[in-house]
Structure 1
Amino acid sequence: MSTQTEATTTTRRLLSSPMSSREESDEKTMIKPLKSPPSTRKSLPSRVRRRFPFIGTTVTFPDESQWAIREGLSDLKLQQDYIPCEASQVYLVECLADPQDLYDGLKEAVVKVKFQIRASSDTLRELEEWLDENEAYYERNPDCETGKEMERTRSALHLGTSCTSNPNRETLKEVHALNLLDSHRGGHAPYLFDFSVATIEKRGYHYDEIVGGYLVFILMPKVPGLRIEHRWYWFLSKGKRDEIREAFKKALLSVWDCGIEPHDISLDNLMWNEEKRKCYILKFKDCTFFNEKKGGTKPEWTDKLWECWQLAEH
């Protein structure tokens, strides 16, 4: 099977499978690792390579489009508590090739990169201590539920330092949410262009990376605007803040219409576009798909949500 076909199969499997089966699947999702052009990376100052390790990488996605990673848009964020652990970072990318004319001349987009890293020493120690505390009880009661929990904990402890080709559950949720948001292109959130799952072939991205672990590239449109921050939001006139609040309400209702309830509730998850008078919700790694949940119902708007999202008047 060619690399391109493998990538396409991986994409379709992750998007079409129910969330529960994706989370528990042991099926391999590896494709041929994507490599950086050595000449480009070597020309970067070492401090830039350390802070933005993927600048200079060229990624070919399953839709055959090719994108070059040009600029880092965020610092590297480490999640070392929930296993498998991962690092993530957002970059600006430039379109080098679009052989199927899928992007209508689009020159720039955004890619979020995620790759597997080791769990923190505190996380590993907590898992080991839990096993030690419960082992004696399980030996006396081998048929209790503790046995199943111990197996899950041993598996987590193993994946805390060993490679896996199956991405973190939050990553799968984020990709699934972006795919659902694709039905509302031009709405109030980014959406999925394409994504690829590869493996880390050798060291060089971060000192806690796990060679052989997953490496995910999520391609999406660049959302225009400015992140809403306390330092300027509360210096706006009340009339302008009222306008942003109403725009946020419209954005949240639009996301709910896609069957998604976001739980990353903070100003940091919002962007304001002054020209379009439009608010965007950005992050979906922590969310609920209420249309896919048995007995799930669409949330109802209350003005209390402005307070939850740190937008309400003091």
Structure 2
Amino acid sequence: MDALSFLPNPIVFSDGSSYELQNPITDFRQCHGTEPAESRILYRCRHTNPPTSPASQPFILKLKVQISDTTTSNPSVPQPGPSPTTSHELDALRLFADAQTPAGPNLVAFENFPQPAEGLLPGGYVNCTVMSVLPGKSLFELGYWSLEEEEREEVREAFGQALSAVRELGVEPGDKGLRNVMWDAESERCGLVDFELWEPFSPEMEVGRTEELQKWGLAHKPPAKNWWAEFGIHTC
């Protein structure tokens, strides 16, 4: 049985708008180190109320569901939500939306509601965050280190512009890695995703270009003892 079969599709928000879940972008998996315990999945979605044409630009819907904490013998207590990581990300997405920046996802809509009796943790929260889609693919998916050096340099220049744009809005990304850098070769632009972990930016955080690129895995590919260690550098 599908773990999320209790969810309606489309999902109707409290303002009457609705979003149809389309193809999943990730699998449904537990988030590590969160309190309360939760699992998440990302979908492509489309706005169905008001009706939109099939060709309308899709959105991303991040779905988070409170689950039972299997690391403790105490029964999990349903929480009203939203989760702390969701609240933190919403703060960044609202900043991006207010500025209409293409450097990060813009918040489109948000809904928080309790799980029904047939849910994974009845009464626990369900968070639905709808955001804009950044063009291109992640550098991890594209195989950044397999690109020609000329294109890698184009990526690095575009990345610097995206990071500066995000920092100008007072946001310092916390989850740095190739998987969170989007590259659109057609427009030659980068964008940054996943802002569950971020902190207010201050000029003291700035480091030299080479060191910054190294932090994100964009320069001086870190040596690894084996392929598994190399994989872990960009996925942990």
Q: Normalising by structure 1, what TM-score?
A: 0.63
Aligned-pair CA distance for 1:231 = 6.8
**1:302 alignment counterpart:** 208
In structure 1, the gaps of 5 or more residues are 1-45, 126-156, 291-295
Asked whether the 8 Å contact 1:62–1:195 carries over to 2, the reply is: no
Cα deviation 1:48-71 (Å, max 9, x = unaligned): x35x75886212234532211121
After the TM superposition, which parts of structure 1 deviate over 3 Å for at least 4 consecutive aligned residues?
52-56, 296-299
Question: Aligned to 2:186, what secondary structure does the other structure show?
Answer: coil
Aligned-pair CA distance for 1:185 = 1.8
Cα deviation 1:136-188 (Å, max 9, x = unaligned): xxxxxxxxxxxxxxxxxxxxx67xx1101033211110111101111232421
In structure 2, the gaps of 5 or more residues are 222-236
**2:84 alignment counterpart:** 169
CA shift in 2, pair 1:236/1:80, >3 Å:
closer
**1:61 alignment counterpart:** 13
Asked whether the 8 Å contact 1:188–1:279 carries over to 2, the reply is: yes
**1:313 alignment counterpart:** 220
Cα deviation 1:239-294 (Å, max 9, x = unaligned): 1111101111111111111111111011111111111101110100001134xxxx
**2:228 alignment counterpart:** none
* Structure 1 segment 35-54 matched on structure 2, within 5 A: 49-50=2-3, 53=5
* Structure 1 segment 246-285 matched on structure 2, within 5 A: 246-285=157-196
Q: Which has the larger radius of gyration?
A: 1
Counterpart code for 1:224: P
Aligned residues: 219
RMSD: 2.6
Counterpart code for 1:108: P
**2:44 alignment counterpart:** 92
Asked whether the 8 Å contact 1:115–1:216 carries over to 2, the reply is: yes
**1:81 alignment counterpart:** 33
Asked whether the 8 Å contact 1:93–1:108 carries over to 2, the reply is: yes
Asked whether the 8 Å contact 1:55–1:72 carries over to 2, the reply is: no
Identity %: 26
CA shift in 2, pair 1:216/1:182, >3 Å:
same
Cα deviation 1:17-70 (Å, max 9, x = unaligned): xxxxxxxxxxxxxxxxxxxxxxxxxxxxx5xx35x7588621223453221112
Among 133, 139, 155, the residue aligned to 1:244: 155
Counterpart code for 1:94: R
Report whether the alignment pairs 1:182 with 2:97: yes
Asked whether the 8 Å contact 1:202–1:211 carries over to 2, the reply is: yes
CA shift in 2, pair 1:232/1:167, >3 Å:
same
Question: Aligned to 1:234, what secondary structure does the other structure show?
Answer: helix
Among 56, 59, 71, the residue aligned to 1:109: 59
Question: Aligned to 1:70, what secondary structure does the other structure show?
Answer: strand
Distance 1:82 1:55 in 2: 22
Question: Aligned to 1:244, what secondary structure does the other structure show?
Answer: helix
Question: Aligned to 2:146, what secondary structure does the other structure show?
Answer: coil
Asked whether the 8 Å contact 2:28–2:39 carries over to 1, the reply is: yes
Distance 1:97 1:195 in 2: 15
Aligned-pair CA distance for 1:212 = 0.4
Asked whether the 8 Å contact 1:110–1:222 carries over to 2, the reply is: yes
CA shift in 2, pair 1:55/1:119, >3 Å:
closer
Distance 1:66 1:167 in 2: 19
Distance 1:83 1:186 in 2: 31
Which of 256-265 and 229-238 deviates more? 229-238
Bigger fraction of residues in helix: 1
